[in-house]
């Protein structure tokens, strides 16, 4: 089964099933072919990350080098990187990416991400509250709980994901068409259907923010500072989730159920997104075991 990157705002307003926060299933990554050295590793996930969002602020007591801070964080949370790969700005398409230090053979383990290191509505520090309030947080996109988790963790001084945020792009410099002036969208993308789709998404985002997200944050002022109560920031995080998050697919017998909620997967989201990719995230129900001969980078969930 394949972990799917999200590409556009879902339009079916039904909630996803809850996942127990105590589940400790690992994601594992393996190489598909022997990349040239140095080589950016590409995958089914989105591409590249850049700077710590200004919303989060500096990481108190952290390393001045974001990569050093991220690698130290990986060791603390049990995210294991192969010594054959590196997180770097060099040899990547843009910002931070994952590159091969030396020749990597097909099937070699590249990284393992424990489920506890994922950032989702279930693992965040307000997961209990989001679960209790899930009825009030239903929306057309189905992404409100994850977006509230991101809004909270970005400004929480003690957030365990702060070193991970250091590899995120600058939210104010995202290049999604939703941030283009309307005239530019219509001029450059006329006839593609994109301007109309973007306008519909923007209307849905505004409605979702004002009717659900902002009232929830105002009802919990101790959890959401004034600097994250912003429609502009909400737009930016929606674009981030579109480009950088993943979904665990349903099992075949669950095809009639709603899609699983999106999650942020550290390490996987700095793989470059290319059409001819050499990274493909998958998972298995067998703990710590890869099923079959794997030809690409794999992610395993037990």
| 213-247: pLDDT as tens digits | 999 999 999 999 999 999 999 999 999 998 889 88
Burial of residue 146 (number of CB atoms within 10 Å: 0-12, 13-18, 19+): buried
For residue 38, whether the previous peptide bond is cis, meaning omega lies within 30 degrees of 0, is: yes
Q: Which residue has the higher pLDDT, 36 or 159?
A: 159
Confirm if 146 and 245 have CB atoms less than 8 A apart.
yes
Is domain 64-118+265-301 given the CATH code 2.170.270 in the classification?
Answer: yes
User: Would you state the pLDDT for residue 170?
Assistant: 85
Is domain 126-157+172-249 given the CATH code 3.40.50.2000 in the classification?
Answer: no
Spans of all domains in the chain: 64-118+265-301, 126-157+172-249
User: Would you state the pLDDT for residue 278?
Assistant: 65
User: Would you state the pLDDT for residue 281?
Assistant: 65
- Average pLDDT estimate for 52-81: 75
Lowest mean pLDDT, pick from 17-31, 125-139, 285-299:
285-299
Lowest mean pLDDT, pick from 112-116, 144-148, 188-192:
112-116
Q: Where are the alpha helices (DSSP H) in the chain?
A: 66-77, 127-132, 144-155, 162-165, 182-188, 194-208, 214-219, 231-244
Nearest to 176 by CA among 244, 276, 275, 260: 244
Note the Cα 14 to chain centre separation in Å: 21
Cβ within 8 Å of residue 132, ≥6 positions away: none
- Average pLDDT estimate for 60-65: 62
User: Would you state the pLDDT for residue 256?
Assistant: 67
Q: Where are the alpha helices (DSSP H) in 31-174?
A: 66-77, 127-132, 144-155, 162-165
Distance CA 3, CA 5 (A): 7
Phi, psi of 176 (to 5 degrees): -65, 145
Note the Cα 11 to chain centre separation in Å: 19
Highest mean pLDDT among 83-97, 120-134, 255-269: 120-134
- Average pLDDT estimate for 152-178: 91
Cβ within 8 Å of residue 72, ≥6 positions away: 63, 163
Q: Compute how many other C-beta atoms are within 10 angstroms of the C-beta atom of residue 134.
A: 15
Number of C-alpha atoms within 13 angstroms, CB side, residue 230? 15
CA distances from 69 to 31, 46, 72 (A): 25, 22, 5
Nearest to 194 by CA among 203, 185, 202: 185
How far apart, in Å, do the first and last CA atoms of the chain sit?
A: 12
- Average pLDDT estimate for 184-204: 92
123 has pLDDT over 50: yes
96 has pLDDT over 60: yes
pLDDT category of residue 24 using cuts at 50, 70 and 90 = very low
101 has pLDDT over 60: yes
User: Would you state the pLDDT for residue 247?
Assistant: 84
Confirm if 133 and 39 have CB atoms less than 8 A apart.
no
275 has pLDDT over 70: no
Distance CA 215, CA 95 (A): 35
Element spanning 272, H or E: strand 272-273
């Amino acid at each position: 089964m394949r972990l799917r990157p999200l590409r556009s705002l879902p339009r079916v307003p039904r909630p996803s099933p809850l996942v127990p926060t105590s589940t400790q299933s690992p994601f594992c990554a393996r190489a598909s072919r022997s990349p040239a050295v140095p080589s950016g590793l590409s995958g089914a996930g989105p591409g590249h990350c850049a700077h710590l969002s200004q919303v989060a602020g500096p990481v108190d007591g952290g390393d001045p080098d974001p990569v050093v801070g991220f690698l130290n964080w990986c060791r603390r949370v049990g995210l294991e990187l192969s010594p054959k790969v590196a997180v770097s700005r060099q040899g990547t398409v843009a910002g931070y990416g994952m590159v091969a230090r030396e020749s990597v053979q097909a099937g070699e383990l590249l990284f393992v991400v424990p489920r506890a290191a994922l950032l989702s509505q279930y693992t965040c520090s307000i997961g209990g509250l989001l679960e209790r309030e899930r009825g009030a947080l239903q929306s057309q996109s189905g992404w409100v709980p994850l977006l509230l988790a991101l809004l909270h963790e970005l400004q929480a001084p003690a957030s365990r994901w702060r070193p991970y945020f250091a590899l995120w792009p600058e939210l104010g410099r995202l290049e999604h068409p939703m941030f283009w002036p309307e005239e530019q969208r219509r001029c450059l993308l006329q006839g593609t259907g994109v301007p109309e789709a973007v306008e519909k998404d923007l209307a849905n985002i505004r409605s979702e923010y004002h009717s659900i997200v902002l009232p929830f944050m105002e009802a919990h002022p101790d959890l959401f500072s004034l600097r994250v109560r912003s429609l502009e920031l909400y737009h930016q995080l929606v674009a981030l989730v579109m480009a950088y998050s993943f979904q665990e697919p349903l099992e075949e017998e669950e095809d009639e159920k709603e899609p699983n909620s999106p999650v942020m997967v550290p390490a996987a989201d700095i793989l470059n997104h290319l059409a001819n990719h050499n990274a493909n995230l998958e998972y298995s129900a067998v703990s710590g075991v890869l099923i079959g001969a794997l030809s690409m980078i794999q992610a395993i969930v037990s």
